[in-house]
A and B are shown apart, each in its own frame.
Chain A
Amino acid sequence: MTIALFITCFNDTLFPNTGKAVVTILERLGHQVAFPEEQTCCGQMHFNTGYQSEALPLIKRFVRVFSEYECIVSPSASCVGMVRDMYQYAAEVAKDKGLAAEVKALAPRVYELSELLVNKLGLVDVGAYYPHRVTYHPTCHSIRGIRVGDAPEQLLRAVRGIDYVPLPAAEECCGFGGTFAIKNADTSMAMLSDKMRNITGTRAEVCVAADNSCLMHIGGALHRQRTGVKIAHLAEVLASGEQA
C-alpha cells in the first residue's frame, strides 16, 4: 500500500529523525511511502491560539495536498487531532460548505502512527529491538483527542529487549499546550515539574511519546536539570533494529 507521510512542520524542522523512523518502519513492513513536498503546516498553532483566519488557508492547503491519497499517516497525535476534529469546525465557522465536504471525506483517512499500525494494519510486533529502560507518556491529544487507547503501549511491549516501566499519573498533561507554554509559562512549568518527578521516579533512561511537541517540552526540562533521561518518539523506538 502507498502511504502518504504527513510529517508536520514541527517534525520536519526540529525532529527529522522521527520522519526517517516512520519511513523505516513502513518500508520494513513492505509499504511504499509518499511524501508530498507541497505540505507545510496543518494550522493548529494558529487555530488554537485564536488566529482562525490565518489558519484557514493552511487548512485548505492541507486538504488540497493530501486529498489524492487513500491513506495518510503522521507521527503527531496532536496534528492528526487538528485535522480530524477541528477542520470540520473550522469549515463551519468559515461557512465553507465545499471545504466541509472535502474535510469529511479526507479526515477519516488520516491516521496517527500507532493507530495505523495497530488498528488499521493489525500489527503489534513491528520487528523492533530496543534494549533500554523506557517509560511512556500518553499525550493528551493521543488519549483524549484522537483516542488511540493503549495502541502505543501494545507496540512498545512487543519490542524485543525493552524494559518498559509504566509511568505513574501518566494521563496527566505535561503542561505544554502549544502557546500555553509561553503565555502561561509558570503554570506550564508547575505541571511539568510533577511530570518530571514521575518520569525520573521510574528510573527510565528514555521517555517516549507519540508527539514530539510534548516531548520537546519534557525533554527541555529533563536536559535543563541534567537528569540523564532522554526523549524519543515512539517511531524511533519502533524503527530500531539489531542492525541499526
Chain B
Amino acid sequence: MKPDSVIIELSPEFSVGAKQALQNTQLRRNMGKATQTIRAKRATVVGELPNWESLRDAGERIKAETMAHLDVYIERLEKNIQAAGGTVHWASTAAQANEIVTKLIQATKSKHIIKVKSLTTDEIRLNEALEAAGITPIETDLAELIIQLAHEKSSHILVPAIHKNRSEIRELFQKAMHLPDLTDEPKELAAAARTFLREKFMTVKVATSGANFAIAETGSVCVVESEGNGRMCLTLPDVLITVMGIEKILPRWEDLGVFMQLLPRSSTGERMNPYTSIWTGVHPGDGPQEFHIVLLDNGRTQVLGDSVGRQTLHCIRCSACINICPVYERTGGHAYGSVYPGPIGAILTPQLVGTEHAASLPYASSLCGACYDVCPVKINIPEVLVHLRGRVVREKHSHVSGWLDPESIGMSGLGQVFGNRMAYEGAQTMGKLAQWLFVHDGYIENGPGPLGAWTAMRDLQAIPDQTFRQWWRERNEHDDHA
C-alpha cells in the first residue's frame, strides 16, 4: 500500500506537528471552546436515552455481523442497486476511484461539479484529481466551503473548519466573495454562503457525494446532514456519483433504526439531524436520472483481515471520539497529518496506509480511554492503539538498526532486569547510586538522556533511600528477633 493512497501528509511525526499547533493561541482557544461545547451537548442527549448502552451493543453487533459476511452483503447491495437503475463501479485504490469519477464527469461534458460533504472523497483526494483534469469541484457544506476557499485542509471529520473562528471566516468570505461590508454575525456569514451556493445549485448538473449507510437488502443509499445543502446536491442535478467505502454497508433496512439513533446524538449532539436523504436507484421525473456508486476498498480489506484491527471498520464517522479526546482538544486535527484525525484517525490511518508510513500515530494518545466510552459502536480504540504499537515495534525490529535505537536498547535492558529478581533489586540500588549527581532536595530538575523530556517541564521525584521490599525485609527480620 502506497502512502498516497489515503490523504496523509508525510509530514514530521505527530509530536512535531503537535508542538507547532500547541503554540497557536487562537487554535487552542477555538478548539477548547468547540470540543467542550459539543461534548456537553452529546452528554445531555445521550443521557436522555435509558437504553443507550443496549443501542451501542446493537450497533456493535450489527457492524460485527456485517464485517463477518461483507462479501455476501456487498454483492447483495450491488444487485439491488442495479435492479433499481443505478450503476455500480468497483475501485480497489484511490487512483482507480478518481479515474472512474473523472471519466463519468467528462462524459457529461460538465466543467463543474457540486459536492456533498464526504470524507471518502477527501481520503482519495478527489478534488485534486478533478482539478488536474480541468473540472472544478465546489464544496457545498459550509465548513468544507470555508476550507476550500482558504486552501486549507480539514481539521475535524464533522466540523472541518473547527479550528477557525467567525472573525477568521468573515475575513475569508470578504475576500473570496467580494463582500467588503460583511460582519462576523453568524446569520450574515450563513447568508453570504447561501447566496454563493444557490447559484451553483441552480446551474451545475453533476454532483458527487459520500454515503453514511447503504442498505444491502434494498439497494438504498443514505446521507445524513445538517444544512440541507447535501439534499440540494442529491436532488437537483441530472447526474449523481457516490463514492463509498465498502464498510458502510448495513445488511437490513431495519438496521438503520439503530444507527439513526446512535449517529446524530454522538456526532452533533442532536436528537435527530435536520436532513436525512435516502434514495434507491433512479426514478423517472424525480431527482437525478443517472446514479453511479463507486465502491471503494483502498486498504479496507487488508484491515478486515486483522482480527483486532477489524473493529476499526465499524466506525460510522460520528466524531464523538475526536471531540472527547484530550490530545485532539489541544493539538487540533492538522498535527495528525491525515484526513482522519483524533483517536479514530490514530488507528484508521496507520492501518489504511501501513504502520510504516504513520508510525507515530498509534503513540499520539495517552490511552485515557475516553474515546472507547463514547464510541457508539464500542470500538475499543485503546486496545487497537496498543495492538498497532506492537506492529510498529515488530516492523522496527525487522531491521538490525531497529534494535539499536536507544528506546529498543532501553526496553530490552529493562526486560532483562524485570525478568530476574536479583537483577531487579540490583538495578534499584544502581538507580539510587546513579541519581546522586542530579538530585537536589529530593528532586531531579534537569535529568540526563530521555529523562530530559520529562524534566524539561516537570520535576522528577528522586528514588528514596529504602525500597519497599527492603523495608519489608527489615520489618520481618525485626519481628523474627522480637
Binding site for B on A (CB under 8 A): 7, 9, 11-20, 23, 35, 37-38, 40-41, 43, 45-52, 54-55, 57-58, 61, 86, 89, 93, 140-141, 144-145, 171-173, 175-192, 216-217, 219-221, 223-224
Nearest-Cβ distance from residue A91 to partner chain B, whole angstroms: 13
List chain A residues, Cβ under 8 A from B453.
181-183, 185
Q: Does B450 contact A (CB under 8 A)?
A: yes
List chain A residues, Cβ under 8 A from B472.
19, 23, 35, 37
- Asked if A40 and B421 make an inter-chain contact with CB atoms under 8 angstroms apart, the answer reads yes
List chain A residues, Cβ under 8 A from B194.
none
Nearest-Cβ distance from residue B13 to partner chain A, whole angstroms: 9
- Asked if B18 and A216 make an inter-chain contact with CB atoms under 8 angstroms apart, the answer reads no
Closest residue on chain B to residue A224 by CB atoms: B459
Q: Does B90 contact A (CB under 8 A)?
A: no
Among A40, A47, A186, A220, point to the contact of B460 (Cβ < 8 A): A220
List chain A residues, Cβ under 8 A from B457.
185, 188-189, 192, 221, 224
- Asked if A178 and B367 make an inter-chain contact with CB atoms under 8 angstroms apart, the answer reads yes
- With A186-B15, A224-B445 already in contact, the answer to whether A12 and B469 are too (CB < 8 A) is yes
Among A9, A54, A86, A192, point to the contact of B424 (Cβ < 8 A): A9
List chain B residues, Cβ under 8 A from A219.
461
Complexed CA–CA distance, A52 and B387 (Å): 9
Q: Which 10 A-B pairs have the closest CB atoms?
A: A177-B366, A220-B458, A50-B389, A50-B393, A173-B368, A144-B369, A54-B415, A19-B468, A16-B468, A41-B418
- Asked if A57 and B366 make an inter-chain contact with CB atoms under 8 angstroms apart, the answer reads no
- Asked if A50 and B421 make an inter-chain contact with CB atoms under 8 angstroms apart, the answer reads no
Binding site for A on B (CB under 8 A): 14-15, 18-19, 22, 308, 326-327, 330-331, 362-370, 372-373, 383, 386, 389-394, 407, 411-412, 414-415, 417-421, 424, 428, 431, 443, 445, 450, 453-454, 456-461, 463-464, 466-473
Task: Indicate the member of B364, B372, B464, B468 with the most A CB atoms within 10 Å.
Answer: B468
List chain B residues, Cβ under 8 A from A93.
390
Nearest-Cβ distance from residue B353 to partner chain A, whole angstroms: 18
Nearest-Cβ distance from residue B420 to partner chain A, whole angstroms: 8
Complexed CA–CA distance, A180 and B361 (Å): 12
List chain B residues, Cβ under 8 A from A14.
461, 463-464
- With A41-B418, A46-B415, A187-B330 already in contact, the answer to whether A180 and B367 are too (CB < 8 A) is yes
Nearest-Cβ distance from residue B470 to partner chain A, whole angstroms: 8
Nearest-Cβ distance from residue A181 to partner chain B, whole angstroms: 6
Among A35, A61, A140, point to the contact of B469 (Cβ < 8 A): A35
List chain A residues, Cβ under 8 A from B369.
140-141, 144-145
- With A182-B454, A191-B366, A224-B457 already in contact, the answer to whether A20 and B468 are too (CB < 8 A) is yes
Nearest-Cβ distance from residue A2 to partner chain B, whole angstroms: 15
- With A49-B389, A144-B372, A220-B458 already in contact, the answer to whether A180 and B366 are too (CB < 8 A) is yes
Complexed CA–CA distance, A224 and B459 (Å): 5
- Asked if B326 and A173 make an inter-chain contact with CB atoms under 8 angstroms apart, the answer reads yes
- Asked if B386 and A47 make an inter-chain contact with CB atoms under 8 angstroms apart, the answer reads yes
